[in-house]
Amino acid sequence: MRALTWHGTRDVRVDTVDDPTIQEPDDVIVRITSTGLCGSDLHLYDVLGPFLDPGDILGHEPMGVVAEVGSAVTALAPGDRVVIPFNVSCQACTMCAQGLHSQCETTQNHEWGTAASLFGYTKLYGQVPGGQAEYLRVPFGNSLPIAVPDGPPDDRFLFLSDVLPTAWQAVAYAEVPRGGTLAVLGLGPIGQMSARIAARRGVGRVIAVDLVDERLERARRHGAETVDLREHDDVAAVLRDLTDGRGPDSVIDAVGMEAHGQPALKAMQKVAGLLPDPVAQKLIQTAGVDRLGALHLAIDAVRRGGTISIIGVYGGAADPMPMLRLFDKQVQLRMGQANVLRWVPEILPLLVDGDPLGVDEFATHHLPLEDAPAAYAAFQKKEQGMQKVVFRP
């Protein structure tokens, strides 16, 4: 089969690799019909290379049609249409029973001290082959895949794999009081969808912050107020001015380690990518290598007693935090990888009979998988109006 594979920093290629096969009785093989390019994939493309091996298959936002099932699979049959959550979770352990699928005890990675395995995402999270490919082996075939109806186009359901539950969790964790104000920092796919979901869930006011014209315009079209980072030296002061001097009740950091600014930390990210893998792994695991501009802005801007929901991915183990400021302002922090299956029952009914969240037009680019290397480069540089990419293997 053809698959998008990692070969080095900013070097991904579409290669011919072995087809996946049934390995356990409850495995299923899915023929991929659509698979997304996520902002988190850029972390692998540029920063987290020390935790990858050449040939690793990337991608964690797939859907498709069941091609083959193991002998113990009773919930699915060949021909069924499914979306695959990016968490590899068993649905049977204590963590899954609490809706913490990203912490699944069955697939935790004890060697690295990390949480549940993820499709297509480094040794830290299981080094499980990903879904930017023609076929994907999916374990826990009776409980992990999300069965979706035939009829609507793939884009109606594809974003159940990551974008929709991740944004839903971001808003839920933000705990915006009734009639309150939410600031969303970063208008990539997760930030955009967070703003839409917040409005859908009745948040009184959504203020969206970014520095890319197309992203800002897109957020405005869906009812958000916008603040352009390029126009202000002190964005936190602007957010306070817009909220009676207090600051937003809640802030979502949808940026993570890709934040702009902080040249020294940007340089450290680059250095980590150039070091031998064992040295770079140690640096990332023990040092602060994240660019924390978005998180520091969130801490500065949120009102006293407010809540910050961190959904952007961070990777440094010892990032400096303004603890005095957090404590003094009595800020609440909530964060973590999305627990996809925790939120699907709330989201899926919104997709079956209509499109209130605008998923049908959410992707800005649909490309063949063969174009993936060029798409990664353009997406990282925010070129060609590329906001959400879907590959068709």
User: Residue 59 corresponds to which tokens in the numbers above?
Assistant: 């991608």
**Residue 107 contacts residue 89 (beta carbons within 8 Å):** yes
Query: Do 127 and 250 belong to one domain?
Result: no
| Secondary structure of 343-360 in HEC code, one letter for each residue | HHHHHHHHHHCCCCCCHH
Are residues 238 and 117 both part of a single domain? no
Q: Based on the structure, what is the number of domains in the chain?
A: 2
Choose one of 318, 335, 352: the last residue of a domain: 335
pLDDT band at 290 (very low <50, low <70, confident <90, very high): low
Q: Which residues span the domain enclosing 230?
A: 166-335
pLDDT single digits (tens) 304-327: 999 999 998 886 655 778 999 999
What is the CATH number for 35? 3.90.180.10
The pLDDT of 56-84, averaged and rounded, is: 98
What single-letter amino acid sits at 294?
A
Asked if residue 331 and residue 344 are part of one domain, the reply reads no
Domain end: 320, 335, 350, which one? Answer: 335
Q: Of 344, 337, 290, which Cα lies nearest the Cα of 118?
A: 337
Check which CATH number belongs to the domain holding 212 and give it.
3.40.50.720
Q: What is the pLDDT of residues 202-233, one digit of tens each?
A: 999 999 999 999 999 999 999 999 999 999 99
Instruction: State the pTM of this model.
Output: 0.92
Pair (141, 193) in one structural domain: no
- Helix, strand, coil percent content, the chain, rounded in steps of 5: 35, 20, 45
Give the pLDDT confidence of 254-284 residue by residue, as tens digits: 998 764 444 444 544 554 555 556 645 554 5
Number of alpha helices (DSSP H) and beta strands (DSSP E) in the chain: 13, 15
* Percent of the chain scoring above 70 in pLDDT: 90
Q: Is the pLDDT score of 285 beyond 60?
A: no
- Which of residues 314, 335, 356 is at a domain's end? 335
Do 144 and 177 have their domain in common?
A: no
330 and 298: one domain? yes
